[in-house]
Amino acid sequence: MQFVEEIVVDEFLPTVRSLLAGDLRERGFTQSEVADVLGISQSAVSKYAHGDVTVNDRIAADDRVLDLVDELGTGLAAGEISPVQALIEIEVLIRDLESGGDLLAQLHEEAVPELADHGASFRVHDPESDLRTSERVLSSLRRGLGMLETASGFTSLIPAVGSNLVACTPDAEDVDDVAGVPGRIFDVKGRATVPADPEFGVSEHVARVLLAARRHGADVSAAINITYEPGLVDDLTEQGHVAAEFDESGDVASSVGASIEDEPEATVLYQTGGMGIEPLIYVLGPDAESVADTLRSLV
């Protein structure tokens, strides 16, 4: 009796780890850094590097495996994908390859020929799990933040209260379903500074604006606040965005909702300030990268 999990442990994981370790080493990672990312010992990394680990040639030649290794290597090297996200993506690929007569299912049937007579396919994990969804949001947010950090002139758009780039899960209902930057993004000596990795539940204000827009029909999943200038609203409008003004002195959710109802296609919301309220523009979009790209077009 041999379970498919044994094939995963004995053949798939050593092969993928070997490929990914080699990819990361080619990108300049040290042996210690590769060990930290993969969650294995340095001696294990050394074995992979010296070919002392048996690699399954069929798995190593599969385009999906090669594509995922390249994607994860790129993301891990750029800091856009966390080790947890990498683990989830590998797990999802494993489940895909286990089902429907795919590669791991074929290897399993070859190891246990009696399975070939069993027509049922099964999936023991849901690839659209909440954890994978959350990690995808965080990954997108990291990429968006990276775009802003390297955007020349972005600091000119940061208001006195700081900016926050936020993104939410597809079924977001409250601020705990919205990820953002703890402490916000500030201009420190002319450089946009992101104080910490994005987390869920750390944004109140920008998250509430995003959630209010979504509740009233806006097809958006990310947002950022920037300083208000009439010229910026004009520039965004010229780029094809629909702008709508709202009043932040009262109930923000109701005011944003009313603006969205008046302008259902609005992706730029702004308020011109008041007593103790800094005027701000909120740029909304389908994901964090799109919002960051819009801001890069302004500087």
Give the domain ranges of the chain. 4-115, 130-298
Q: How far apart are CA 39 and CA 85, in angstroms?
A: 13
Long-range CB contacts for residues 44-50, cutoff 8 Å, separation at least 24: 44/17, 45/21, 48/17, 48/18, 48/21, 48/22, 49/21, 49/22, 49/25
pLDDT of res. 128 = 59
pLDDT of res. 116 = 55
Confirm if 30 and 83 have CB atoms less than 8 A apart: no
User: Mind giving me the DSSP string for 101-136?
Assistant: T-HHHHHHHHHSGGGGG------SS-TT-HHHHHHH
pLDDT of res. 120 = 46
Interacting residues of 192 by C-beta distance below 8 A, sequence separation 6+: 148, 149, 151, 154, 155, 158, 185, 186
pLDDT of res. 1 = 62
pLDDT of res. 102 = 83
pLDDT of res. 3 = 77
Q: How far apart are CA 51 and CA 14, in angstroms?
A: 11
pLDDT of res. 130 = 78
User: Mind giving me the DSSP string for 151-217?
Assistant: -TTGGGG--TT-B-EEEE-TT--SGGGEEE-TT-BEEETTEEE--S--EET--SHHHHHHHHHHHTT
Confirm if 142 and 174 have CB atoms less than 8 A apart: no
Q: How far apart are CA 217 and CA 206, in angstroms?
A: 17
pLDDT of res. 118 = 47
Q: For residue 244, what is the DSSP state?
A: E
Return the structure tokens found at 192. Answer: 């946009």
| Cα dihedral: 100, 103, 105, 110 (round 10) | 140
From the candidate CATH numbers 3.40.225.10, 3.40.50.410, 2.170.190.11, 3.40.50.1580, the one assigned to the domain spanning 130-298: 3.40.225.10
Measured CA to CA in angstroms, residue 282 lies from 31, 40, 179 at distances of: 44, 43, 16
3-state helix, strand, coil in the chain (%, to 5): 50, 15, 35
Residues of the chain with pLDDT under 70: 1-2, 100, 114-129
Confirm if 194 and 181 have CB atoms less than 8 A apart: yes
pTM as predicted: 0.75
Amino acid at 168: C
Amino acid at 199: E
Tokens 């730029």 belong to 268
Q: 13-26 and 42-49 are packed helices; what angle lies between their axes, rounded to 10 degrees? A: 90
Q: 83-98 and 103-111 are packed helices; what angle lies between their axes, rounded to 10 degrees? A: 60
